[in-house]
Chain A
């Protein structure tokens, strides 16, 4: 069984300051991990993914995440927030063993960016 916990349901940052979104996971197998972003009234967009290669993963729009197996974490960071980063972010795990691409989503973190 696999599960994902996003530790903050809401994060508020000022424009130009760092963003940190926390995610912990559990998985019976070597997991694949993802971060998706959902802007209002839009579909989900893949930000980045970890699939057992480099533990520091760089994604689109300046985001990156670090896989830490010892801490079972996959936190998402960005050095400098932009107004366009206001959205909801989902940490997602897939153990790759289930049929197809059955993904397990965290509860989401809503990011507010203040000018």
Chain B
């Protein structure tokens, strides 16, 4: 059973471009969480999704950021018109059911660099 898969591992974008980060949860997991880690800081919650539904997006910036978890395929975190401040490591986690912290598995992250 493969772990949580994130791609790409590294993503470089110029200011104003779009960034799309993908997360494939572990097999059988229907809950996905996105966290952002700014340099020298801990991870901060962004959004929690179940299949086709956004459950909690209280950590998402109000503009330019969106997330989806379609019925088929990976979860996507989309950042439009990126700025230098978006440079960070973005981690995805998945769990098989709600709400158990004990079964939360993290991916290796996507490092976004905005030039």
Contact = CB atoms under 8 A, between A and B. Distances in A.
A94 B93 CA distance: 15
Contacts, number: 74
Nearest to A91: B42
Contacts of B100: 101
A34 B102 CA distance: 9
Contacts of A36: 106
B22 to A, nearest CB: 15
Nearest to A45: B106
Interface of B: 3-4, 9, 31, 33, 35, 40-45, 48, 55-56, 91, 93, 95, 98-102, 104, 106-109
The 9 nearest A-B residue pairs measured at CB: A105-B42, A44-B106, A100-B48, A43-B108, A105-B43, A43-B106, A99-B56, A107-B42, A101-B101
Interface of A: 4, 6, 9, 32, 34, 36, 41-46, 49, 51, 90, 94, 96, 98-108
